[in-house]
Amino acid sequence: MNPSLAPVETTAPSDVLISIENLQVHFPVLGGGLLQRQTGVIKAVDGVSLQIYGGETLSLVGESGCGKSTLGRGILQLEPLTQGKIFFKNIELTALKPETLRQMRHRMQVVFQDPYGSLNPRMTVAKIVGEPLMIHRLIERQQLRQRVQDLLELVGLHPSFADRYPHEFSGGQRQRIGIARALAADPEFILCDEPIAALDVSIQAQIINLMQSLQQKLGLTYLFIAHDLRVVRHISHRIAVMYLGRIVELSSCSDLYANPLHPYTQALLSAIPIPDPESEKQRQPMILTGDIPSPINPPPGCHFHPRCPFVMEQCRRQEPELRAIGSEHWVACHLVE
């Protein structure tokens, strides 16, 4: 990561922009044969409640397969919800009719992980970036060209690129096009689904700096999904740690790194390499044994207990609640009760 990146300052939260209540996203497991009867359920997101404040970056971290992307897509209702409610500025999105929800979508956009697969190779940049404007009827056709060029300049691309195709650009440039497309509809909230994971390390810092600059200019709110905790530290105001479909810790960025309370969070942070050979030799990372349990058949009690080095009998029997430890720190762990 570029050393010029500095951690964001934690600011007092403004009004709640998005509120999530007991969100569940379950996928049926179908058996073989002609009838394909349901044989189980994958509990990808299993009862998440969360608030996202206007103007902040809330990062969602955890191992692959823990349900981060499914939660993000569920908030935008790109995945059908099994249960739960989602509010956007006190408007219950989950109660809206499809046409009304479609009209709300321009206020909530997404930047995808793969800059190669998320752009239509048969469309020019002008059509890709301009498409949201035409779908939501936000601009007159004669003004479209100028608006697209302005958006390209905003993300650091030359306006003349509007007539080119995605295959003519590098990965970092393609991701800038994806960001321009997300900004086209003038959104308030952007889901960033691992937007730098597929990019070279040398380009990642540029994209992060761009996103921070755009947030300050436009007052954007981000849900930033990632697995690289070094990146998360530089862009987050708050961080939510997810494990097997549930939030296990939620805190301000500075407090989480200074005082991680959940053993899973401690293990994630201990795995971050230290850019000093002598300090790295002395570091003793917390090694987790075993594999992540299956979301089809999660363990009883605390989902983390089969891998936790501090497991107690209570952990095997009773599910811990996410509860406040201080004013900005929440944790679901029997060890801190």
Higher pLDDT, 295 or 277: 295
Which alpha helices (DSSP H) does 170-306 contain, by range? Answer: 171-184, 201-218, 229-235, 253-258, 263-270, 277-282
Specify the pTM. 0.90
* Mean model confidence pLDDT for the chain: 89
Q: Which residue has the tokens 């201990």?
A: 270
Both tokens of 210, joined, read 């761009």
pLDDT of residue 115: 84
Q: Does residue 6 register a pLDDT over 60?
A: no
Burial of 138: CB neighbours in 10 Å, binned 0-12, 13-18, 19+? middle
Angle between the 171-184 and 141-154 helix axes, to the nearest 10 degrees? 130
Q: Does residue 10 register a pLDDT over 90?
A: no
- Residue 252's φ and ψ, nearest 5 degrees, are -65, 155
Q: Does residue 3 register a pLDDT over 60?
A: no
Q: Does residue 65 register a pLDDT over 90?
A: no
Q: Does residue 213 register a pLDDT over 80?
A: yes
113-169: pLDDT as tens digits: 888 889 999 999 999 999 999 988 888 888 999 999 999 999 999 999 999 999 999
- Residue type at position 145: R
- By C-alpha distance, which of 108, 87, 14, 111 is closest to 55? 14
